[in-house]
Amino acid sequence: MAPIIARMPLLALALMAAQPALADTPVAPPAPAVPAAKFNLDTPIEALVADARTRAVLESDLPGLTSHPQFDMFKTMSLTTLAPFAPDKLTPDRLDKVKADLAKLN
């Protein structure tokens, strides 16, 4: 039996044969460009607040929302999800206004 060092070139050759050649490997096409964020009533409130433009919409159309004492409790919710919990503040008319203003930014 040959010493281990004598078998190393044979082992390297066997490993190379087991690997497919790079030319045989199909190349995936490049990923399409990521479109700009689409903000809407289903976007989490914290994501809307993180963008200066959408934060301005919220502060204009829903004054007091971002400074509400319980903001940390509902910031992960969307306006659609939050609306049933504050029907007097998040009226259909107000939500329609926010929706229209957010659509202008997309």
pLDDT greater than 70 at residue 37: no
Question: Could you tell me the pTM of the whole model?
Answer: 0.65
The answer to whether position 25 is within a domain reads no
Range of the domain at 62: 45-105
pLDDT of 23 strictly over 80: no
Please tell me the predicted confidence (pLDDT) of residue 65.
95
Which band of pLDDT confidence, cut at 50, 70 and 90, is reported for residue 4? low
22 domain-assigned: no
Cα–Cα distances in Å, from 75 out to 50, 51, 52, 60, 70?
A: 11, 14, 16, 17, 9
Amino acid letter, 46: E
Whether the pLDDT of residue 5 is over 70: the answer is: no
| DSSP annotation string for the chain | ---HHHHHHHHHHHHHHHSPPGGGSPPPPPPPPPPPP---TTSBHHHHHHSHHHHHHHHHHSTTSTT-TTHHHHTTSBHHHHGGG-TTTS-HHHHHHHHHHHHHH-
Instruction: With respect to residue 6, please indicate whether it lies within any of the assigned structural domains.
Output: no
Express each pLDDT in 53-85 by its tens digit.
Answer: 999 999 999 999 999 999 999 999 999 999 999
- The chain-wide mean pLDDT, for the chain, equals 83
Does residue 10 or residue 56 have the better pLDDT? 56
Q: Is position 10 within any domain?
A: no
